[in-house]
Structure 1
Amino acid sequence: MQSFSPSVFPRIILLSALILLLFSGCKKQEYEDRIVGVWEVVNVADIDPGQGEVWEFFDNNIDVFRYPIGDYENRYLYDNGKYVVERKGLTMYLKLANLKNSTFNTSWDIFKLDRDNLIISIEVPGGIFYKEFVKKSGN
């Protein structure tokens, strides 16, 4: 049986760390690319069923539009701000800033982001607040 010399282990650890860093950097870029576009809020709470909402992500800006259900052409700009995708450890976050709704100006945990769906969450007093989206257009 062959044994490794002690000097091999630091090299293995360094190589493993570099590979992990490379793959996590690719993941961040993938998230940044996927989030660009127009996302329609899925109204799972049925809070205001007469009104729809879309979030448009572009050039690190976010525009939030609202519209009467069934009348998307009459949408209006409700809010706007900035966003950035961040990685902390192995978790990806969507950091929002400069929105009128100060509760939203924080780092949202990206629970799911694929070509068609986005689910983000934040902790609020009394629980966790989720926002679910389906992609209307974009990357």
Structure 2
Amino acid sequence: MTRFLMADGPVDSVALRTCLLRAEAGGFCSFEGWVRQTNDGRPVLGITYEAYAPLAVTEGQTILDEALARFDITDVVATHRSGYLRVGEIAVWIGVAAPHRDAAFRACRYVIDEIKKRVPIWKHEHYADGKAGWVACHRSE
């Protein structure tokens, strides 16, 4: 089953969360990464995300498989957007279900950190002054 998706349209976090509902899960943790209005003090209008989709999906799935093996979790799903996103839109969504909250939190953090490091996604920020620039996605913040 593919648990990591690249999406070219809005993220349906309700549907993603619903697919994680399990009777054995007592905890759920999610992370939403949004496009923010400033970066390094510069006003941002939006971001264009570009990805090499076949490798992004394969590497994303590997990360989710690692989380399943490494943490006591029931299931995990994640999606990352591509294309142009406006301020406030969801760029990345991760959900983790687990018998207990600690594993859900730790797995969620692991997944976002590894996506930022390993998945081939690039972001091109569009600034209010009409300029644009490529920004590294691999920061751990």
- After TM superposition, the score normalised by the length of structure 2 is 0.24
Larger Rg: 1
Q: Which has the higher strand share?
A: 1
Q: Which has the higher helix share?
A: 2
The structure showing larger relative contact order (alpha-carbon pairs under 8 Å, at least 6 residues apart) is 2
- After TM superposition, the score normalised by the length of structure 1 is 0.24
